[in-house]
């Protein structure tokens, strides 16, 4: 997914940094949609956290 499709969009993201407290944040959840219908949501943060805990002895 990208917000940056053209110059206007690139500028928009800089504007949103300034106009929103906290800016724009991608949540780390992947929504899988097919033919325009949202079907499944995967939380990658939960997955990564558990893997990271394994590694960081």
Partner 1 sequence: MADSLVYLYAVGDAALGESLPPGLTGVDGAPVRVIVEGRLGAVVSTVDPVHFDEETLQGNLEDLTWLAETARAHHALVEAVWRHEPVAPLRLATVYLDDDNIHSLLRQRGAAFTAVLDRIRGRREWGIKAFAHGSEDVDADQSADSNLGPGAAYLLRKRMARERGARAQQDVQEAVADLHRALSAAAAASHLYPPQAPQLSGRREPMVLNAAYLVEESEATTFTNAVQTWHSPHVHHELTGPWVPYSFAMLEES
Partner 2 sequence: MSRLPVRLDAEPETVGRDLGRLVLTIVELLRQLMERQAIRRVEAGDLSEETVERLGLGLMRLEEAMDELREYFGLRPEDLNIDLGPLGSLLPPPER
* Contact positions vs partner 2 (CB under 8 A): 1, 3, 16, 20-36, 41-42, 44-45, 47-48, 51, 55
How many residues comprise the chain? 57
Report the nearest approach of partner 2 to the CB of residue 51 (Å).
Answer: 6
44 forms part of the interface with partner 1 (CB under 8 A): no
State the virtual CA torsion across 8, 14, 19, 24 in degrees, nearest 10.
100
Please state, in angstroms and rounded to a whole number, the distance separating the CA atoms of residues 25 and 40: 20
Give the interface segment with partner 1, choosing from 23-31, 37-45, 47-55 (CB under 8 A).
23-31
């Amino acid at each position: 997914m990208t917000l940056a499709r053209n110059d206007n969009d690139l500028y928009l993201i800089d504007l949103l940094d300034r106009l929103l407290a906290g800016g724009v944040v991608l949540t780390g959840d992947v929504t899988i949609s097919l033919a325009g219908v949202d079907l499944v949501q995967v939380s990658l943060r939960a997955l990564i956290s558990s893997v990271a805990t394994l590694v960081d002895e």
